[in-house]
Amino acid sequence: MNNQDIVQQAIEFAKSAGADQAEAMLGRSRNLSVEVTMGQVETIKQAEDLGIAVRAIVGNRMGLSYATDFDPTSLRRVAERAVEVARASDADEFVGFAEPAPFPTVDGFDAEMATHSADEKIERSFAIERAAKEYDARIVMTRRVTYGERESHSAIANSRGLVAEQRTNTCGGIAMVIARDASGQEFGVGFDFKRRYANFDAKAVGVEAAQQAVSLLGASLVQSQRASIVLEPKMAGAFLSIIANLVCANNVQKNKSLFAGKLGKQVAASGVTIIDDGTSADAPGARAWDDEGVASRRTVVIADGVLQNYLHSTYTARKAQTQSTGNATRASIKVLPDPAPSNFAMSAGTATPESLIAGVTRGLLVKNLMNLHTANPISGEFSFGANGIWIENGKVVNPVRGVTISGNLTDLLMNLRGIGNDLTWQGAMGMSVAAPTVLIEDVSIAGK
């Protein structure tokens, strides 16, 4: 049987077992990881995963079951189990499945990726490492250098007539290196993920890691003070990933987001626009439809600082009496889909990164942020460790490490005063974020 035959058969088994409505989603994935250290291959991992999730609705009760075999006996068993779970579940008036609708054309699969040999992909890892070591003689060690690929093939159908199938893939690399001189040693990280094999630049990843490590040599503390911070694109993207989770409707509806009840209100500085767009073909999270079969679309989340929309799945949309934004995502076949960003981006501005730095009287150019997961999603309070380069009168002057940036996420958004023109995507399949360099004023920096 092909993939569509499998999901259709699972639906028929669920209906035969007593389901009023049923949905089946099949997933096949392949993962490759090549790790090298100091000129030697450490590990090569290739893995294939497959599974099918069946959701059944009986009345207004939903059940989920899953299996990793696609033979008829297994499909019947998983479908019957989904119906059993539904009957034992609590009633919920908001359960339901997606209606069939046209899908956008999103070319999320790069056929070239599979045409390259394993040796060529191993060479990509070595190319990352060479670039880091050749950048500067002070790069003395590579702690981890990895090149990886992921391919996903999904099919979904439901009893409302929806049928869909898609393939996506991505590739990327990461380098973690150590630089050392008489002042001590520092750690640097470089990474990048691309939708297209030809667009991945192994050398750039190695150079990025080396540049960061070398730039921080000789770092020291600064006096505690309130000053500006300049977030480079990947650090701005890391901050943006926190915001992305806070605009997911499941978190909002559970009152686990500081954005709850703030639709139509100013939540960021004027000029800040954030958009989630699953149809951005060259972004790492591109897909034609989400994990419920809802068409991907462009959703303006924040426009000129005003909160316009939350990100919805079918369930949260029914609960809010609105429409799904095509953001349903399954962490695995074992769990129900929840809203999650696809390609979440802050729109670029017109300023160059250099001009943003030139306008800072006193502040920190942030190279690394730590403990992002500790931000309180309800109050917005945060305290992040940071390393970077100190700025005085528009010029970078000396490296800084061991400081703590603290405050409130709302204040950071409202105090954003400059947006660069250097939008940079980062992430992997299923979610990606993009941000330019940003300037934020009046931030608490704790040092000595």
pLDDT in tens, 59-106: 999 999 999 999 999 999 999 999 999 999 999 999 999 999 999 999
Q: Does 243 map to a domain?
A: yes
Write down the pLDDT at residue 421.
Answer: 98
Verify that 69 and 35 share a domain, yes or no.
yes
For the chain, what is the mean pLDDT? 96
Write down the pLDDT at residue 282.
Answer: 77
pLDDT category of residue 163 using cuts at 50, 70 and 90: very high
Verify that 100 and 168 share a domain, yes or no.
yes
Verify that 183 and 244 share a domain, yes or no.
no
CATH code for position 148: 3.30.2290.10
Q: Can you give the length of the chain in residues?
A: 448
For tokens 């008489």, what's the residue?
182
Write down the pLDDT at residue 430.
Answer: 53
Verify that 263 and 207 share a domain, yes or no.
no
In this structure, how many other beta carbons lie within 10 angstroms of the beta carbon of residue 243? 24
Rounded CA gap, 370 and 382, in Å?
A: 11
**How many structural domains does the chain have?**
2
pLDDT, tens only, 173-195:
999 999 999 999 999 999 999 99
Verify that 177 and 321 share a domain, yes or no.
no
Q: 439 and 358 in contact (C-beta within 8 Å)?
A: no
For residue 224, give the nearest of 359, 362, 367, 356 by alpha carbon. Answer: 362
Verify that 211 and 292 share a domain, yes or no.
no
**Dihedral pair phi/psi, residue 60, rounded to 5°:** -120, 40
Q: Does 296 map to a domain?
A: yes
Verify that 266 and 182 share a domain, yes or no.
no
Domain boundary pick from 191, 215, 239: 215
Write down the pLDDT at residue 428.
Answer: 54
Domain boundary pick from 215, 244, 262: 215
Write down the pLDDT at residue 23.
Answer: 98
Rounded to an integer, the average pLDDT of 398-405 is 96
Global pTM value: 0.95
- Give every CB contact of residue 107 below 8 A, 6+ residues apart in sequence: 281
Rounded CA gap, 216 and 209, in Å?
A: 11
Tokens of 379: 């109050």
Q: Does 356 map to a domain?
A: yes
Rounded CA gap, 284 and 243, in Å?
A: 18
Q: Does 220 map to a domain?
A: no
Write down the pLDDT at residue 1.
Answer: 85
Write down the pLDDT at residue 355.
Answer: 98
Verify that 209 and 284 share a domain, yes or no.
no
Q: Does 431 map to a domain?
A: yes
Tokens of 132: 């880091």
For residue 205, give the nearest of 351, 424, 43, 385 by alpha carbon. Answer: 424
Write down the pLDDT at residue 427.
Answer: 81
Verify that 110 and 92 share a domain, yes or no.
yes
pLDDT, tens only, 257-291:
999 999 999 999 999 999 999 999 779 999 999 99
What is the domain extent for residue 47? Answer: 3-215
Q: Does 186 map to a domain?
A: yes
Q: Does 140 map to a domain?
A: yes
Verify that 170 and 305 share a domain, yes or no.
no
Verify that 345 and 431 share a domain, yes or no.
yes
Verify that 179 and 155 share a domain, yes or no.
yes
Rounded to an integer, the average pLDDT of 236-258 is 97
pLDDT, tens only, 433-442:
999 999 999 9
Tokens of 288: 């034609």
Residue 429 has pLDDT above 90, yes or no: no
pLDDT, tens only, 406-423:
999 999 999 999 999 999
Q: Does 411 map to a domain?
A: yes
Q: Which residue has the higher pLDDT, 38 or 256?
A: 256
